[in-house]
Amino acid sequence: MTNKPLTEPQKKQSDSIVDTVLSGQHGKHSFQTVYTYIHTRIQRGDWQAHAKLPSVRQLAEDTGMHRLTIFKAYQHLKDDGHVYARDKSGYYVQPPTLQVLTNEAELGLPLFQGNLGDLHRIQVKYQFSQALITPNLLPNHYFAEYVKQVFDLYPKLLGTYAPAQGDLELREMLQHYFTDTSQFHVHADEILITTGAQQAISLIAEVWIRPGDHVLIESPAYASALDVFQQKGARLVPMTINANGYDLAQIEQAMKQYKPRFFYLNPTFHNPTGICISAEQRKQLVDLAAQYHCLLIEDDTCQDIYFGQKPPLPLFAYDTEGYTIYIRSFSKYVSPGLRIACIVARPEWFTSLLAAKSLADGGTPLLNQKVFLHYFTSTRLQQHIEKLRIALRIRFEMMDEELSSTGWYYEPPQGGFNLWVRLPDHLSVPELLARCLKQSISFVPGSLFDHHESSKQYIRLCFSFASEQEIRTGIQQLVAIAKDMESNSSE
């Protein structure tokens, strides 16, 4: 294979705006210079919604200005709605869809401003924002038995560090598992154990993204991945995904035009839409990747969570040229507390990933790996996954039933944890979220999954965490709040 994306870091190019706007300007109104510099870069897309901005200290050092001058510029940017501050964390780009869409003073409620993690930290009774399975649906009693079994088998386990690449016994098990279930042949040496899929995404971003690099993403896309890529300085290029799948012509044009570092995608029960891409499109996509030498980063968290027919094979199974890097997480439906996931990659990509993992944490805890190994291969767990699919389908059907009278649009998912719902144009999503949070109901606004505003009228409702009764009551209350908003707006 030739002409593949570079794995070595690229040298950072100087920013012409820094050179022309910041250098040597220390006049009376120098805070306005900083204001203009930051605002210009936000406007041209260098920093997108929720991206972390340079610290006050960093800008002061770069420009030679006093920190109070930089602080004053940030305060003016904040007052004008271009940035927001997080306590002890710094300044971030204010997403356009969350700026003064509703008058907070008239509403009498604070509008939510933050990222997905901020939303998850809000404690509510009716939890429709977290794409997690409630612990009540996991076989906790059986799990405790396997923990005891692991300590019997490995009495010195707590006195041993894990290899950075991951436990060999676990990697060999996964090698056979992928061959049997996904029909792709991989060696244990091509598997890297990570502490959840989020770490896998972060490692890939660390290895491949340099400031200014183009990265193709689905629109909408997994919100936390967007945050990671933007923090690394990537220029995100959205690719359409809908009930018909991908627009392959659009993807081909983007690969030609931007020569992206990679295309990050979630083709199996996509988060947040629940869409599952056909086998035919998967084959065409890996052909495009080989033709244009573009890496595909396939994030697969719900391969086993289907309600009827099994999903198509992962992209990795169709890729004979080695342009796919496969992320497989087991956290959500096996045991979130163990945080076990893996990256599967061909040797030419693997060395850089292993080096990044070694620097990140030196290896995922060995205890977690051994417990997962024996738990995942047990007959009990495999039987439980069958029951789990049924339980999740029942929860979706309950949510579907409660939403049936609204006329809101959504495609019934064939697996996964989420319902992607389009609200009428006259309903303000930020206002609905504010009112729902006041009543202890949470959901995720579509703007967090798409920083180009095409999803601002969508909301993601997760049916996997709330109990059956909580789904009925919580969705009834959400619908009632929306109807009350519609009544008030028509008066």
Would the CA dihedral through 15, 21, 25, 29 be positive or negative? negative
Phi, psi of 192 (to 5 degrees): -120, 120
Check pLDDT > 60 for residue 27: no
Check pLDDT > 70 for residue 252: yes
Distance between CA 334 and CA 124 in Å, rounded?
24
Check pLDDT > 90 for residue 43: no
- Does the model's pTM come out above 0.75? yes
Check pLDDT > 90 for residue 355: yes
Lowest mean pLDDT, pick from 12-26, 56-70, 81-95, 322-336: 12-26
Instruction: Show the DSSP H helices in 92-195 as ranges.
Output: 104-107, 116-120, 140-153, 168-182
Q: At what angle do helices 56-63 and 67-79 cross, to 10 degrees?
A: 120
Give the model confidence (pLDDT) of 52-61 as tens digits.
Answer: 899 888 888 8
Burial of 348 (0-12, 13-18, 19+ CB in 10 A): exposed
SS3 174: helix
SS3 461: strand
The pLDDT assigned to 329 comes to: 95
Check if the beta carbon of residue 288 is closer than 8 Å to that of residue 294: yes
Domains in the chain (CATH in brackets) are: 16-94 (1.10.10.10), 116-136+384-490 (3.90.1150.10), 141-380 (3.40.640.10)
The proportion of the chain whose per-residue pLDDT surpasses 90, expressed as a percent, equals 62
Check pLDDT > 50 for residue 1: no
* β-strand partners of 306: 415
Distance between CA 165 and CA 343 in Å, rounded?
10
The pLDDT assigned to 29 comes to: 52
Check if the beta carbon of residue 332 is closer than 8 Å to that of residue 132: yes
Q: Which residues contact 413 (CB under 8 A, 6 or more apart)?
A: 269, 273, 274, 275, 307, 396, 419, 420
The pLDDT assigned to 4 comes to: 44
Distance between CA 21 and CA 17 in Å, rounded?
5
The pLDDT assigned to 491 comes to: 57
Distance between CA 279 and CA 11 in Å, rounded?
39
Give the model confidence (pLDDT) of 368-392 as tens digits.
Answer: 999 999 989 888 888 899 999 999 9
Check pLDDT > 60 for residue 221: yes
Long-range contacts of 183-186 (CB under 8 A, 24+ apart): 183/313, 183/317, 184/313, 184/314, 184/316, 184/317, 186/344
Q: Name the residue among 368, 314, 370 with its Cα closest to residue 345.
A: 314
Amino acid at 83: V
Per-residue pLDDT band for 93 (boundaries 50, 70, 90) equals confident
The pLDDT assigned to 100 comes to: 35
The pLDDT assigned to 393 comes to: 96
Give the model confidence (pLDDT) of 283-334 as tens digits.
Answer: 999 999 999 999 999 999 999 999 989 999 999 999 999 999 999 999 888 8
SS3 92: strand
Check if the beta carbon of residue 21 is closer than 8 Å to that of residue 35: no
The pLDDT assigned to 104 comes to: 52
